Amino acid sequence: MTTQRPASPVPDERAHLFFDSYADMHDLVEDLVVPDGVPEAAATVLRTARELLRQSYYCYEFSTVAVMHSLIAVEIVLRDRIPDAGKKPLRQLIKQGAADGILTARQAEYLDYGRQIRNGMAHGQTTHTVMPPAMAVPMVTTSFKIVSELCATPAG
């Protein structure tokens, strides 16, 4: 039995609810630029999150994965900025970052919300979450901003 594969990726039918073409995805992520000074490990993760958003035109669920992935970049930078971060869970890093003034209350709130979504998926409590790309972009953008701000100020 032979199966035929499409010559190129097929757009997810849900993408057409929000976008006319794949070219629109470039506009969606154009402001997601990794700033200078971001450690390469975090920069790589942010670039991957950006590309996951772009590719969600073909696999809608990638937008949710992009949000989860962008949180990894924030965690990488928090571990670098927080003394004795060691293997503390993200929840503790967020609390300590807020207590030490590394994170604003709003940033800590955002990160804790994202952490809860991530944990729900990672631990099987949430088995299928689909976040439309237009909803995911502000969340990924926030991760980009937090990483940028953390990397712009000297480590204490």
Q: Could you read off the pLDDT of 107-141 as tens digits, one per residue?
A: 999 999 888 888 887 777 766 667 888 889 999 99
Alpha carbons 25 and 129: distance in angstroms, whole number: 21
Quick one: angle between helices 62-81 and 105-122, nearest 10? 120
Q: Could you read off the pLDDT of 38-62 as tens digits, one per residue?
A: 999 999 999 999 999 999 999 999 9
Q: What is the pTM (predicted TM-score) of this model?
A: 0.87
What's 19's DSSP letter?
A: -
Backbone phi and psi for residue 46, each to the nearest 5 degrees, phi listed first:
-65, -40
Alpha carbons 145 and 110: distance in angstroms, whole number: 12
CB 85 within 8 A of CB 78: yes
